[in-house]
C-alpha cells in the first residue's frame, strides 16, 4: 500500500471487513450485521475517545477479521498475507496483537487476554478497551440469546480483569469503561 492516506485506509478497511463479515451476525435477538461491531469500535475510538490515528482506526475495523472469518490455519495464513499486502505490516501487526488464537480453547484464550493485557502496545490497549466497552454496551442494548444472568456477570468480571491491564492509555476510554460496566452491573443487578 502507498503511504498512509487516512481516509483511504479507513475506507479500504471498511470494505475489506464488510466483505469478510458479510454473512455474520451478532448473537443478540436483533441479529445485527456483524460488521456493525467493528464500525462501532472505530466510531467510539474517534468520536468518544478522541483518537485519530488511522492505523488504530483501521485495525479497529479489522480486529475480528482473522479471528472470526476463517475456519482453518491455512485460510488464516492466506488472510494474514492478504491483510499485509493491502494494509502493510503496521496495521497487520496491531490487528494480530488483539487477535485471539482460535486453535486454543475458549477458557485459555480468555485467560491469556487477562494475562497479557498489560504487555500490549499502547494502540492495542486502546483497541482492547474500546472493544470491551462496545461488547458491554451490546450486553445492555441487545443481549446475546441464551445468556443467563450468571454468564453475563462472569463476562463482566472477565472484561473488568482485561481492562485492568489496559487502563491508563486514554482517560476517556477509562471513564467510558467504568460507566458502561456500572450500567451493566445495575441492569443485571450485580451488587458490587
- The residues that are catalytic are 67-68
For the CA atoms of the chain, what is the radius of gyration? 16
Q: What are phi and psi of 79, to 5 degrees?
A: -65, -40
Cα–Cα distance measured from residue 63 to residue 42, given in angstroms and rounded to the nearest whole number: 10
Of 94, 146, 157, 81, nearest in space to 120 by CA: 94
Amino acid at each position: 500500500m502507498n503511504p498512509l492516506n487516512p481516509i483511504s485506509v479507513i475506507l479500504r478497511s471498511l470494505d475489506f471487513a464488510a466483505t469478510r463479515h458479510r454473512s455474520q451476525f451478532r448473537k443478540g435477538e436483533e441479529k445485527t450485521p456483524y460488521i456493525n461491531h467493528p464500525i462501532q469500535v472505530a466510531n467510539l475510538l474517534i468520536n468518544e475517545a478522541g483518537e485519530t490515528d488511522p492505523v488504530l482506526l483501521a485495525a479497529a475495523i479489522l480486529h475480528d477479521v482473522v479471528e472470526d472469518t476463517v475456519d482453518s490455519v491455512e485460510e488464516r495464513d492466506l488472510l494474514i498475507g492478504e491483510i499485509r499486502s493491502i494494509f502493510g505490516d503496521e496495521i497487520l501487526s496491531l490487528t494480530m496483537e488483539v487477535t485471539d488464537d482460535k486453535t486454543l480453547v475458549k477458557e485459555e484464550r480468555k485467560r491469556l487476554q487477562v494475562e497479557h493485557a498489560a504487555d500490549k502496545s499502547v494502540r492495542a490497549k486502546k483497541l482492547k478497551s474500546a472493544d470491551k466497552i462496545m461488547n458491554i454496551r451490546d450486553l445492555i442494548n441487545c443481549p446475546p440469546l441464551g445468556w443467563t444472568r450468571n454468564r453475563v456477570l462472569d463476562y463482566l468480571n472477565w472484561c473488568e480483569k482485561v481492562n485492568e491491564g489496559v487502563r491508563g492509555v486514554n482517560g476517556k476510554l477509562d471513564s467510558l469503561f467504568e460507566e458502561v460496566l456500572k450500567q451493566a452491573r445495575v441492569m443485571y443487578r450485580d451488587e458490587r
